[in-house]
A and B are shown apart, each in its own frame.
Chain A
Amino acid sequence: MVRERCGPARRVAVTGVGAVSGFGWGIEPLWAGLSSGRAAIAGFGRFDHAGHRTHVAAEVPALPAALARRTSGRRLSIADRFALSAAFEALAAAGLPGDLAGEVAGVYFGSSTGGMWEGERFIAGLLTATPRLRTSLLASQQVNGPGDAVARRLGVSGPVETLSSACASGGLALGAALDALRAGEVDLALAGGADSLCEITYGGFNALRSVSEEPCRPFRAGRDGLSIGEGAVVLVLESEERALERGARPLAFLAGAGASCDAHHMTAPEPAGRGAAAAIRAALADAGLAPGEIDFVNAHATGTPLNDAAEWRAFVEVFGARAAGLPVTATKGSIGHLLGSSGAIEAVATVLCLRHGEVHPTPAGGEVDPELPVDLVLGSPRPLTARAALSTSLAFGGSNAALVFTRAGA
């Protein structure tokens, strides 16, 4: 994603956002929840977790009746419904119709689970005393389900891609959308992701002892693991030129994207954070900004001992002495780790912070680890009229994505 600039490059604007999270269905509950300093991580009912070591997650509340009709469909997975709701909200916010047939539009999604839950139900149906073969569940179990559902429902006829690289997926998806728009392949991009709570992922991370019994505490001393979340997010992206032409107001600009790989280990991050630093540098170069121009960071910050330590090292490498004073927010402390779609929902959190002129807090609880002395915004929002912000995603398996957003004028 690092590219040489040959003349003025078209700026890519975010003109609408939509979301579903543990705080509820919509951007409004998401922002209200993030600002409140509460965590949406608590007991959950999607499946029986009695056999696991941990019993909390950031589960999306029940579908409100008002949204049921628009997101309904016999073969839609839970994640498909999340994605559709987010897409409709984002388009409405961008002042665009729900039918994009006349547009040169593309969908760029990131997901780890897609319809995994429905796949699990299919297998469960086979393993009962009276086996049932539910073909419809199979049809919706693909990881590309949500992105495809959005494209189908909205009549998108351009490229529809789902990237699946663990926790970096959403960040990479936004990078792909950015590239496509800059290259003129599409005029409009719907970028985002969707993931739902599944037994494989919940059980899997528990088996690796990566999950905390309590809501996760990123960058804190004594942090002991992540919290799993679910939800979806969609960002409407288009060139600044096109947005202004049609009277749409940019919420922020996606100024740059960068990616890298640790090439280190299947699950553990490279401890010196070199891969993460490389992705951050690439994103900054792509945005044409120096590290000193970043005003706050939305960190990957899962709350695992290893991730947060490696991420701190990456910040030190890129920001040097500034690292200790740079405001940092850790969205996963509030809405948990959405896995593949985390990079996308955290990009939206970053956009909202730029838009509202304040860095949302991470729920309070415990001191920041003195080994990683980040300036973590805790408890209540920090007013900050930021010009540029960084959002990082450091995946399990070593894929790293970094995004740089810049503020849009009032």
Chain B
Amino acid sequence: MAEVSVTATLRERIKRLIVDSLHLDGTDPDSIEDGEPLFGEGLGLDSVDALELVVALEKEFGIKIKSNEMDRDAFSSVASLASFVEGRL
């Protein structure tokens, strides 16, 4: 139970971080689905957004992300990002 709620909180934090750091004015963080594609389709973020997001994630969670880790799998959705971040904490 504790583990599920930690993941849920982490996903919420990441959604808020996406909206804030990328200035997605008018987007409610809760409206972003856990499994929704972030790049290309879905939320429609691009490569510049990816750079911005990495900076925000590093700062928020005190982790370091290497360029070659910024791949499609880890960054494809909020759920995959949360797993990635959790593995680094």
Contact = CB atoms under 8 A, between A and B. Distances in A.
Interface in A47-96: 74-75
A74 B51 contact: no
Q: Is the interface of A mostly helix, strand, loop or mixed?
A: loop
Interface in B34-67: 48-49, 51-52, 55
Interface string B18-35: 000011100000000000
B55 A133 contact: yes
A142 to B, nearest CB: 13
B52 A74 contact: no
B55 A139 contact: no
B22 A74 contact: yes
A384 to B, nearest CB: 49
A135 B22 CA distance: 9
Interface residues of B, number: 8
Contacts of B49: 136
A135 B55 contact: yes
B23 A74 contact: yes
B14 to A, nearest CB: 18
A133 B56 CA distance: 8
Contacts of A136: 22-23, 48-49, 52
A134 B49 CA distance: 10
B55 A75 contact: no
A135 B52 contact: yes
B24 A135 contact: no
Contacts of A133: 55
B52 A134 contact: yes
A74 B24 CA distance: 8
B54 to A, nearest CB: 9
Interface in A109-150: 133-136, 139
A133 B48 CA distance: 13
A136 B56 CA distance: 12
Contacts of B51: 135
16 contacts: A74-B22, A74-B23, A74-B24, A75-B48, A133-B55, A134-B52, A135-B48, A135-B51, A135-B52, A135-B55, A136-B22, A136-B23, A136-B48, A136-B49, A136-B52, A139-B48
Interface of A: 74-75, 133-136, 139
Interface of B: 22-24, 48-49, 51-52, 55
